[in-house]
Amino acid sequence: MLRTPADDGFSMPAEWALHKGCFISWPCSEETWSGHIAEARRAYSEVIKAINRFEPVTVLSDPSTTAGARSAVGPDIKITEMPLDDAWIRDNGPNFVCSEDNEVAAACFAFNGWGGRFPHAKDARVPLSLAKALHIRRYETPMVLEGGSISVDGEGTLLTTESCLLNKNRNPLLSKEEIERILGSYLGVKKVLWLKQGIHKSMIDGHVDGVAAFVRPSTVLLAQHDDRSNPNHLGMKENKAILSTCTDAKGRAIEVIDFPMPDHTELAGQRIAACYPNFYFANGGIVLPVFGEEKDRVAMEILEGLFPGREVVGVRSEYIAIGGGDVHCITQQLPSGKPAPP
The percent of residues in the chain predicted with pLDDT above 70, rounded, is: 100
d(CA 53, CA 24): 15
How high is the pLDDT of residue 7? 97
Kindly state the DSSP code that residue 253 receives in the 8-state scheme.
B
Angle between helices 66-73 and 37-52 (to 10 degrees): 50
DSSP assignments along 49-109, one per residue = HHHHTTS-EEEEE-GGGHHHHHHHH-TTSEEEE---SSS-HHHHS-EEEEETTSEEEEEEE
Q: What is the mean pLDDT of residues 151-170?
A: 97
Q: What is the mean pLDDT of residues 117-128?
A: 97
d(CA 260, CA 321): 16
pLDDT, tens only, 251-260:
999 999 999 9
Q: What is the mean pLDDT of residues 159-174?
A: 97
pLDDT, tens only, 274-323:
999 999 999 999 999 999 999 999 999 999 999 999 999 999 999 999 99
How high is the pLDDT of residue 1? 63
Name the β-bridge partners of 80: 60
Q: What is the mean pLDDT of residues 205-218?
A: 97
Name the β-bridge partners of 281: 286
Q: What is the mean pLDDT of residues 246-250?
A: 98
d(CA 276, CA 301): 12
Domains of the chain: 10-339 (3.75.10.10)
| Residue 176: pLDDT over 80 | yes
Is residue 98 part of the annotated active site? The answer reads no
pLDDT, tens only, 60-113:
999 999 999 999 999 999 999 999 999 999 999 999 999 999 999 999 999 999
Which helix (H) or strand (E) segment is 128 a member of? helix 126-134
| Residue 331: pLDDT over 90 | yes
Greatest extent of the chain over all pairs of C-alpha atoms, in Å: 54
Closest CA to 333 of 1, 12, 11: 12
Instruction: Quickly count: other Cβ atoms within 10 Å of residue 262's Cβ.
Output: 25
Mean pLDDT of the chain: 96
Predicted TM-score of the model (pTM): 0.97
Q: Beta strand 157-161 with 280-282: parallel, antiparallel or unpaired?
A: unpaired
Kindly state the DSSP code that residue 9 receives in the 8-state scheme.
T
Q: What is the mean pLDDT of residues 154-179?
A: 97
Q: What region, left, alpha or beta, does residue 324 occupy, with left being phi > 0 and alpha being psi -120 to 50 degrees?
A: left
d(CA 133, CA 317): 30
**Of the listed 28, 164, 246, 329, which one is catalytic?**
329
